[in-house]
Structure 1
Amino acid sequence: MLLSYCTNVHPAEDLEGVIRQMRDYAGSIRRAAGLEALGVGLWLPAGLARHLAASADDRAALRAVLEAEGLVLHTLNAFPYGGFHDDVVKHAVYRPTWADRARLDYTLDCAAILADLLPAGADGSISTLPLAWRHPWTEQDDDVATAAFAELSTRLEQLRQSTGRTIRVAVEPEPGCVLDTISDVAGWLGDRLSRGIDPNYVGVCVDACHLAVSFADPAAAIAEIDAAGLRVVKVQASAALHVDDPSVPAARSALAGFVEPRYLHQVRELSADGVRSADDLDAALAELPGQGPWRVHFHIPLHHRPAVPLDTTVEDLRQTVAEVARLPYGPEVHLDVETYTWSVLPDAGVGLIDGIAAELDWARRHLLRAAPAASAPLS
């Protein structure tokens, strides 16, 4: 697999800021990790993506800093449209939706940029949101989104013909969204393969944190994607917060430390009669009965173990990667470490550069053993 770390952990909305990220953080992380080369999963806000898609000179400037810092680009994160480090993000991260032309245009800009910056002979991937937050969402919205993905398929084929580069877009299910689970995205895309959506260009991004929050079985989830005639394009290496017994006062006190105002932290409770849900951690603490284990959408550093009674779903991540690695194209899948929550962790306990370097070291030792690399961006 092709390993990288996602730069949406760093705030930057313009080219100068992204270049500074590459020099001050990504290059420093590569050196701290003792790597000759480091994969980066770049996040480009929509305004910057539009600018770079139109400016060969500025793409060349970005390419130059990537090369100078020993960085390799195979994947982009086009889920957040912009403002991902605003004081309050919450539901804004799901806008614009795939019923808004702006979402398609942004994704096409990202595809054009990635086609120009990919290493020779490499394919690229772009992760995107699962249509929208679940409400409001109408049948008309659904039809517009279907047409947008059909147009995207056509445009990505045209891009391949004109550049020789294959770029695939990966739809990333997330709790609370229109496409909440792997079953949702496999069903939605699978049902629309006859309506112009091409599985050669549109597939699935499996975020291991989101998968674990839904209490899904990794093997069954990956098998469902395959059975739908779809491709796992990208895996986001992430772990959710887990607690076996959220009714215990010590557990509730520890969980309260993860309540914060910037990002949404959806919660699922596994009970005898199914899975209960809350749209944020503060709501879960107030409303869910706490009669079964909780999974919280809070990306925890892969190598980190919170203090008992909290835990993480890192074992689900390992199982997910192992299942994807067994697919015929498994070594070609992009594996992107996406812990964007460093700035809101209750106690990170380590600096960002050393923390991400430690995550990448953990991923190389614990994930790539089960997932042989298609090439060697990290060495």
Structure 2
Amino acid sequence: MEIKGFQLSYCSNIHPGESWEATFENLKKYIPEVKNRLSVDKPFGIGLRLSHEASLILEKANQLSEFRNWLQSENAYVFTLNGFPYGDFHRTTVKDKVHFPDWTTVERRDYTIRSFKILAQLLPEGMDGGISTSPVSYRHWFKSDSDLNVGMETATRHLLEVVGELADIKKQTGKSLHLDIEPEPDGILENSDEMIWLFSDWLLPIGKPWLAKKLNISQEEAEEVLKEHIQVCYDVCHFAIVYEKPADTFAKFEKAGIKIGKIQISAALKALIPTQPETRDIVKLKLLPFEESTYLHQVVARTKDGSLKSYSDLPEALKILNETDEEEWRIHFHVPVFLDNYGALASTQDQISIVLNEILKNPSLTNHLEVETYTWEVLPEDTRLSLGESISRELAWVIKKLN
């Protein structure tokens, strides 16, 4: 839905199901409920999570036509897709497999291009559309700098082939579509510096001459095309985990000429580490229910001198909780955005408020806002509302902040 000139929705990756049938059934169940709870009488935007399996079905003309008819009947539209998880994302062990297949593979390239062709047919006229995607790959899969360089060159070629397709779609339809790369803990791209490095060391040096030749344009024009069609997905949770200040990050992206295609509104779990051993035991007991087997929950710790230390998953960090001199943990566990306190634990909700204030001051930062709390099924019972109520409360909280 449009709020203050921004397109706002929630990401449907909160719903389990990899097939198009399951995806569509969830939309038919929850979109009307959420609209009703929010008393929405204007067009309702959808942030669609589309798996590889579902995309193979939805690209068929009859399925796409049925979905478009349903969107029209519900006064709804699709403006953004989540193309990060390729395969199973619920009720199985996902962990680092969320990155597979990565951008070194043709499977990731082809799935993304297919998804863009679907989005181009769903996107309303006069609106830009985006698909968020993985931060190239999972960094721990690369055992040497040489391995990483080979992987980055292959991934860059695949990303550029997507740009070529998006330039062609724009030429044919007039619609501007962008691939929104999403830095996250333990991705090859974790933070703003690494996102800028992707452009400065890979996309621009390789992409400018390649696109100039392919599109018969100058290298300066090629850079503009590249920066139109590859942007960043700024996930508030992910940037909070690495302790980046939103205003600083936005300024760095602006200086580098990198656009923000989508802001994912999400909160990370946060723990302040007490000095007293008995109080640490309380924190540990509160954290244990968040230790679950579906997703990776990386931890980034901050010490008294401001230095950071990373743990690849919550169990690894919990092993050293009793003896650590760290003062704060930020944990990659998406928790409901409308809660900032969990007793002995907290969330990074304050970072969402800062981000929303920044975009209200500078609306040109992005067009797309998407609430993303995909962990609903694995949240501890005492933090979980009914699904429809939780989605509605999150959107209502954001709407109130924007107004």
Q: 1:317 aligns with which of 352, 366, 377?
A: 352
Q: Which residue of 2 aligns with 1:242?
A: 270
Comparing 235-244 with 279-288, greater Cα deviation is found at 279-288
**Alpha-carbon contact 2:140-2:186 (below 8 Å) kept:** no
For residues 119-152 of structure 1, the C-alpha deviation after alignment (integer angstroms, 9 at most, x for no partner) is 1211101000000100223211110011111111
Tell me whether 1:194 sits opposite 2:205 in the alignment: yes
Q: Are 2:258 and 1:230 aligned?
A: yes
Deviates more, 1:73-82 or 1:321-330: 321-330
Task: Return the match for 2:373 from 320, 331, 339.
Answer: 339
| TM-score, length-scaled by structure 2 | 0.87
The separation in 2 between residues aligned to 1:327 and 1:169, in whole angstroms, is: 22
Q: State whether residues 84 and 93 of structure 1, in contact with CA within 8 Å, keep that contact through their aligned partners in structure 2.
A: yes
- Equivalent position SS for 1:294: strand
Aligned equivalents of 2:316 and 2:44: distance in 1? 39
Shift of 1:67: 2.2
Task: Give the equivalent residue in structure 2 for 1:261.
Answer: 293
Structure 2 portions without partners, runs of 5+? 1-5, 209-225
Count of matched residue positions in the alignment of Structure 1 and Structure 2: 366
Q: CA deviation at 1:327?
A: 4.2
Looking at CA atoms only, which structure, 1 or 2, has the larger radius of gyration?
Answer: 2
Q: Does 1:135 align with 2:140?
A: yes
TM-score by length of 1: 0.93
The letter for the 2-side match of 1:266 is: Q
Bigger shift: residues 226-235 or 317-326: 317-326
- Spell out, residue by residue over 1:253-286, the C-alpha distance to the aligned partner (whole angstroms, 9 max, x if none): 1111211110110101101261011111111101
1:217 is matched with which residue? Answer: 245
Contact 1:232 / 1:324 at 8 angstroms: preserved in 2? no
Counterpart contact for 1:172–1:207, Cα < 8 Å: yes
Shift of 1:328: 6.1
Stretch moving more, 35-44 or 205-214: 35-44
| CA displacement at 1:320 relative to structure 2 | 2.1
- Equivalent residues of 2:340, 2:349 under 8 A apart: no
Task: Give the superposition deviation at 1:93.
Answer: 0.3
CA distance in 2, matches of 1:91, 1:218: 27
- Residue 70 of structure 2 is matched in structure 1 by 65
Aligned counterpart, 1:2: 7
Deviates more, 1:134-143 or 1:102-111: 134-143
- For residues 1-379 of structure 1, what are the structure 2 equivalents within 5 Å? 1-36=6-41, 37-53=43-59, 55-137=60-142, 138=147, 139-191=149-201, 192-196=203-207, 198-245=226-273, 248-271=280-303, 272=305, 274-287=307-320, 289=324, 291-327=326-362, 329-330=364-365, 332-347=366-381, 348-366=383-401, 368-369=402-403
Amino acid at match of 1:340: Y
- What is the root-mean-square deviation in Å for CA atoms of aligned residues? 1.6
Q: Kindly indicate which of the two structures has a greater share of residues assigned to helix.
A: 2
Q: Residue 340 of structure 2 contacts residue 348 of structure 2 at CA under 8 Å; is this kept in 1?
A: no
